[in-house]
Every structure is written in structure tokens, then in C-alpha cells.
Structure 1
Amino acid sequence: MKLTRQSLLLWWGLTVTGAYLLTEYFGRTLEEGHAAILWTWTGAMLVPVALSLLLGRRANALVWVWAGATVLATAENFGVHAAESKALMPFSFHTLWFLFGAVGFAYTAAVVEGSSRKRLYAGAALLNLVGAGLLLVNHEMLEGYQYVVLALIQGVPMLLDVPLRRQHEAQAG
């Protein structure tokens, strides 16, 4: 299989969706699941980040922004976990990921080609912003299902973009 930006997008969507669903599972089944969740995310995100590196010059700036931001946000989570900062944990492990999605998808909407792709990512950005706002008001508001919501509003848009991107490229080429 030749590595393309199309296949990379599929890997991002699959790993993000899967990692959020595993996060929800670990959060429900493990009493102290932070370490397991952090290592799950590290392993899951190594796949698209490593594939981005393999794509090399064929990757666009958008790929590198997402890869870099993902590494930084994950490192922030490890730092908060290592420091055992109970005051920062609600923001770091919950609100940050909605803000991350809001900013990332807004940027994506601005730079992707194709009106349907732009609408998809703008909608995802808005949903992530609403989620961040809800958690800023009350960090327990989405408790019990927030990672399922994140899988739906972060992972699924990338999966939906796979056929949209293919359609856009077929129309353009």
C-alpha cells in the first residue's frame, strides 16, 4: 500500500476515534486510569505521527500542524499527570481536548479545499467549542460520555472527510 495523504487521513480518523472510545472504557473500568489512558493515546497517536513522518515532503502544512499539536497536547497531559496537579487535571484531561478540537478543526476548515469539507470541519470546530464552553462552566457536565462525544466530533469528521476528499480530488482532477 502506497502511503498517501488520503490514507493518512484515514489513519488519523481511526486512531482518534479508537483512542477516545478506549479512553471512555478505561475511565469507566479502571479506578485510576490516567496512566493507561496516556499510554493508550501515546501508542495510538504514534501511528499517524509516524506515518506523517514517513509521508515526508508529500505531507502538507496541515498534517504537520496536527502532528505537532497532538504531540504538545499529549506532553502537556503527561506533565500534569506527573505533577499530580489535581487543580489542572479537569482542564488538562477534559476541556483541553475540546479546545484542541475547536482550534484544530477551525484551522482545518480554513485551509482545506472544497466547500463540503470546509463545512464538515467548521461544524466540528463549532461542536468542539460548545463542548469546551460547557466544560468551562462545569467540568463534570459531560461526565460519563464526554469521550464518546469527542470520538464523534473529532474522529468521525476525519473519517467522513475520506470520501469527501476523494470526491473533491476527482472533481478537481
Structure 2
Amino acid sequence: MNITRQSLLLWWGLTVTGAYLLTEYFGRALHHAHAAILWTWAGAMLVPVVLSLLLGRRANALVWVWAGATVLAMVENFGAHAAESKPLMHFSFHTLWFLFGAAGFAYTAAVVDGSSRKGLYAGSALLNLVGAGLMLVNHELLEGYEFILLALIQGVPMLLDVPLRRQHEAQVG
């Protein structure tokens, strides 16, 4: 299997977008959706994490930061679910993912090449930070469309970066 950073970026974007949309669906369709959502995310994130491992030495620090942080956040979510603490679960399943996106996309904006790519990720970081702030102020404010919003501000930027990265590499190369 020939894994490139370009194809890895596409997989991250697809799995994140799809997992958030499934999260929204399960949250509406199932009475107790936490376990289904956790296992959906574990399966979805397994794809880019395993692809990162397959990329091996060709992966840069950014890839490893995202893969490691994603695994840690998923472990935290499973721990919060096992603890059955309502406040911890709410933070873990909602606010944490906005904070995770804010930090991750800020770091990404700092290290990627190309001004359009930097702007894309900086904008996503800012939107995630606003979302985290809204969740901290009133956790019900985004209820009903929170995960659709997360798909748009976390998954879609990675999908938009696929052509931006290709364009940047063509200009430089």
C-alpha cells in the first residue's frame, strides 16, 4: 500500500467529517448513544492512525502529533465513559473536542507551509476556540447541531487542505 502524506490528509478529513456526522445521527437516533459513538470514533480514527504508522519515516512531526493526540483524547473519552460522571462526560464528549481542535489546528497553522494553508488552519483554530468558549459558557447553546458544526470546522478544513497542499507543492516544486 503506497501511503503518502497527501492521501493521509484525505483520510483524516474523511474520517473526521464522517465520524462527526455519525455522532450527530447517533445522538438523535439512539437513546443511550455514548457507547455507539465511542466505538464509531475508535473505528474511524483507527484508519488514519494506522495509515500514519504505515507512513513510517515519511511522516513528519505534525502527523505524529495528531495521531498521538487523537489516541490520547480517545482514551480519555473511554475513561470518562467508564467513570460515568455526568460533568466529566459532558466536558469530554463536547468541550474537549472543541479545545482539541483549537490546539491542534493552531499548531498545524504554525507548522504548515503556504499562507493559504496557514490561514485555513488558523481560522479553524479560532472557530474551535469560539466553540469551546460557547460550550463552557452554556453547554446547551450548540445542542442539536454541535457535531455538524464540528464536522465543518474540523473535518472540512482537512479536505480543503488537500488541493491547497497540492497547489503549494506545485508552486514550490
Q: What TM-score do you get using the length of structure 1 for normalisation?
A: 0.99
Unaligned runs of 5+ in 1: none
2:14 maps to what in 1? 14
2:5 maps to what in 1? 5
- Residues 84-128 of structure 1 show CA distances to partners (whole Å, capped at 9, x for unaligned) of 011211111000000000000000000000000000000000000
> Whole-Å Cα distance in 2 between the matches of residues 38 and 105 of structure 1?
22
> Whole-Å Cα distance in 2 between the matches of residues 80 and 91 of structure 1?
9
**Matches for 1:79-94 after TM superposition, within 5 Å:** 79-94=79-94
**Matches for 1:43-58 after TM superposition, within 5 Å:** 43-58=43-58
> Whole-Å Cα distance in 2 between the matches of residues 2 and 167 of structure 1?
21
1:135 maps to what in 2? 135
Residue 64 (structure 1) shift? 0.3
Unaligned runs of 5+ in 2: none
2:161 maps to what in 1? 161
2:25 maps to what in 1? 25
Range 79-88 or range 128-137, more displaced: 79-88
- Residues 126-173 of structure 1 show CA distances to partners (whole Å, capped at 9, x for unaligned) of 000000000000111100100000000000000000000000000010
Q: Give the partner amino acid of 1:29.
A: A
> Whole-Å Cα distance in 1 between the matches of residues 93 and 144 of structure 2?
13
Q: Give the partner amino acid of 1:6.
A: Q
> Whole-Å Cα distance in 2 between the matches of residues 165 and 115 of structure 1?
11
Moved over 6 A (4+): none
- What percent identity do the matched residue pairs reach? 86
> Whole-Å Cα distance in 2 between the matches of residues 33 and 166 of structure 1?
38
> Whole-Å Cα distance in 2 between the matches of residues 3 and 131 of structure 1?
33
> Whole-Å Cα distance in 1 between the matches of residues 61 and 43 of structure 2?
23
2:149 maps to what in 1? 149
What SS is found at the alignment partner of 1:13? helix
> Whole-Å Cα distance in 1 between the matches of residues 126 and 59 of structure 2?
26
Residue 20 (structure 1) shift? 0.2
Q: Give the partner amino acid of 1:110.
A: A
Q: What TM-score do you get using the length of structure 2 for normalisation?
A: 0.99
What SS is found at the alignment partner of 1:125? helix
Q: Give the partner amino acid of 2:119.
A: R
Q: Give the partner amino acid of 1:142.
A: L
> Whole-Å Cα distance in 1 between the matches of residues 172 and 57 of structure 2?
22
* Aligned residue-pair number: 173
> Whole-Å Cα distance in 2 between the matches of residues 155 and 7 of structure 1?
14
> Whole-Å Cα distance in 2 between the matches of residues 118 and 87 of structure 1?
35
> Whole-Å Cα distance in 2 between the matches of residues 82 and 34 of structure 1?
11
Residue 73 (structure 1) shift? 0.5
